[in-house]
């Protein structure tokens, strides 16, 4: 293979340029040939009548017609020659057809052919005039209606052009087929299928791009696996000393200090759990352990199992069963965090939990009548470690990770969370999730 052909084979852009160039040349060639053919069809077959034809005309045709003319013979000759013959005499005017396109009387003299024959022209077309024994004979090419044939030529040209364009489309589609494969591969990787690789045998720019995407997937898979291992190591290394500390606290005699230290250690343990869970959910490759659940009954069970001595929790569910695909543990965590917030800031007033379903969307509402949140804090209240009172003491509400986790859980299910609140009137939190989560990497 020559270096030029090798370069063309390995360059997508040169092949595209070649395809477009060949297509343009073929289209122009088809147009030119079609126009030339139409011009040839529509042009006069005899523009100038040669002298030898006139001599034959005089010696054979005129003699065959005779003077006085035999009109039947004249009609047969006109039909065979595909010419128009007109015969004039003071006593008669006869023509072989109804072709009046050439006004023979107005035609201009061109040249003399013999003593009784001359050529006249009209718009570039010759008319032969012969006078013999008082009869004048006019003869010119008959007008042939080639309209139907013109359409055939036109349609044939258009058909060839359509075939060329189809072949052009087919060639470009085949050249760009790896783009579709790359799109499908990128979507599968985005959904969490990190083991998927795009296969191709191309050696051009798209082949190089495919190799780069596969290499990126390798790197991403390695990075996320390292991150997973790091989270497991952190979880183990942090919880092991916490467990030992809890065990040692059991042997302390001072009950007051022991309980205070135990509360601090439990809070650290909870903080570690929340941080790890937030890190797991805070990427598009989070794993949801999903299953079909009767959402209303499930949330009612979570509400019933929630212990609160300070606030009454009222539940309003669906009258019918609605199956929704969710991760039970994550949704339980979401509901529990929202209830904890409601109890913590609800001033002991009732908390309403409502479940509804419409347009393939499930809606969970948690409504309290407590302190409320100032409007300037609503936009940031779901950010990690954000708290409206800038405090992280236990008695004022923890570390600011609860609503952040709720947002991540809702988004992992393909939904969202909306918070509306007024100071001293309460907070209304709405979580919306689809009947089925998007195509994340899930396990059942």
Q: Is the peptide bond before 68 cis (omega within 30 degrees of 0)?
A: yes
Per residue in 251-291, pLDDT (tens digit) is 777 777 777 787 777 777 777 777 777 666 766 556 678 88
Query: Can you tell me which residue has the tokens 């923890």?
Result: 398
pLDDT at residue 46, as a whole number: 45
Q: How far is CA 283 from CA 63, 191, 321, 333, 440, in A?
A: 104, 11, 32, 18, 11
Structure tokens, 370:
């407590």
CATH number of 287-443: 3.30.565.10
- What pLDDT sits at residue 151? 64
Residue ranges of domains in the chain: 3-43+148-175, 51-144, 181-285, 287-443
Residues (pLDDT < 50) of the chain are: 44-47, 391-392, 394, 440-444
pLDDT (0 to 100) of residue 250: 76
Give the number of other CB atoms < 10 A from CB of residue 181.
16
- Cα atoms found within 13 Å of the Cα of residue 303, Cβ hemisphere only: 23
Q: What is the pLDDT of residue 45?
A: 46
- pLDDT per residue over 170-218, tens digit each? 777 777 777 788 888 888 877 777 788 888 777 777 788 888 888 888 8
**What class, spelled out in words, does domain 181-285 have in CATH?**
mainly alpha
Q: How do strand 416-422 and strand 426-434 relate by DSSP bridges?
A: antiparallel
């Amino acid at each position: 293979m020559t270096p030029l052909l090798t370069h063309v084979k390995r360059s997508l852009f040169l092949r595209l340029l070649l395809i477009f160039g060949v297509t343009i040349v073929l289209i122009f060639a088809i147009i030119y040939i079609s126009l030339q053919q139409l011009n040839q069809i529509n042009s006069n077959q005899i523009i100038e009548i040669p002298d030898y034809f006139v001599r034959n005309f005089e010696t054979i045709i005129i003699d065959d017609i005779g003077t006085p003319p035999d009109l039947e013979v004249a009609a047969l000759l006109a039909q065979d020659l595909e010419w128009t013959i007109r015969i004039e005499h003071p006593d008669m005017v006869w023509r072989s057809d109804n072709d009046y396109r050439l006004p023979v009387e107005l035609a201009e003299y061109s040249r003399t052919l013999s003593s009784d024959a001359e050529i006249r022209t009209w718009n570039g077309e010759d008319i032969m005039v012969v006078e013999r024994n008082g009869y004048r004979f006019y003869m010119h090419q008959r007008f042939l209606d080639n309209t139907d044939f013109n359409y055939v030529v036109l349609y044939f040209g258009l058909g060839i052009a359509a075939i060329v364009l189809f072949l052009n489309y087919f060639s470009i589609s085949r050249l760009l087929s790896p783009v579709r494969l790359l799109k499908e591969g990128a979507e599968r990787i985005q959904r969490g299928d990190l083991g998927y690789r795009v296969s191709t045998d191309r050696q051009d720019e798209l082949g190089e791009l495919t190799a780069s995407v596969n290499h990126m997937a390798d790197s991403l898979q390695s990075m996320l696996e390292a991150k997973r291992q790091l989270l497991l190591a952190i979880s183990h290394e942090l919880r092991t000393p916490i467990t030992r500390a809890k065990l040692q606290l059991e042997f302390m005699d001072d009950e007051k200090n022991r309980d205070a230290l135990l509360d601090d250690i439990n809070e650290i343990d909870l903080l570690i759990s929340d941080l790890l869970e937030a890190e797991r959910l805070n990427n598009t490759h989070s794993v949801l352990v999903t299953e079909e659940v009767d959402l209303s009954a499930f949330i009612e069970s979570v509400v019933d199992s929630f212990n609160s001595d300070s606030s009454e929790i009222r539940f309003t569910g669906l009258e019918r069963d609605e199956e929704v695909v969710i991760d039970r543990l994550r949704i339980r965590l979401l509901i529990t965090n929202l209830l904890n917030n409601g109890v913590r800031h609800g001033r002991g007033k009732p908390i309403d939990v409502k479940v509804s379903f419409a347009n393939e969307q499930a809606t969970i509402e948690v409504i309290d009548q407590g302190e409320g949140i100032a409007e300037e804090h609503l936009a940031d209240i779901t950010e990690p470690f954000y708290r409206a009172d800038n405090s992280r003491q236990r008695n004022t509400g923890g570390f600011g990770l609860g609503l952040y986790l709720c947002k991540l859980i809702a988004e992992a299910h393909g939904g969202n969370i909306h918070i509306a609140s007024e100071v001293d009137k309460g907070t209304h939190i709405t979580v919306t999730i689809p009947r089925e989560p998007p195509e994340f990497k899930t396990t059942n």
